[in-house]
Amino acid sequence: MNPYSEQERLTTMLACCYKASQSHFSHLPIRHIISPPNHMLDAALARQIALYAFHLEFGVPRRRIVAMLGIARSTVLMAVRVIDQRRTEPVFERVYRRIAARASDLFMRAMLQAEEAA
């Protein structure tokens, strides 16, 4: 990863969010989190958490997420609304905090590896 390339940083951030979300939903393959099948509600929730963390923890605007992933604006907006609503529950809030911290940690590790490789 080139730490000076915005596109590569964003791609790495998103991958870290998916991987962190998968750490809690370990029964799901990463492909189901990236593109959840219609009948798998847990995969949809895992994706919503990943998109929310990408937006909130890394400060990526929703419009940028839509353009980057080629998904509908309503998909990102729904993810933000659903996770905002669920975060009012203390148990879910703790789980979300753990996933968000893991995503941030994974990204910092990737940045350190890129720095060491350079």
User: pLDDT tens across 65-85, in order?
Assistant: 999 999 999 999 999 999 999
Q: Please give the single-letter amino acid code of residue 8.
A: E
CA distance 89 to 92: 5
Cβ atoms of 93 and 84 within 8 Å: the answer is no
Give me the domains of the chain, ranges plus CATH numbers. 6-117 (1.10.1750.10)
pTM above 0.95, yes or no: no
Task: Check whether 64 has a pLDDT greater than 70.
Answer: yes
Supply 6's token pair: 């915005």
Q: Please give the single-letter amino acid code of residue 25.
A: F
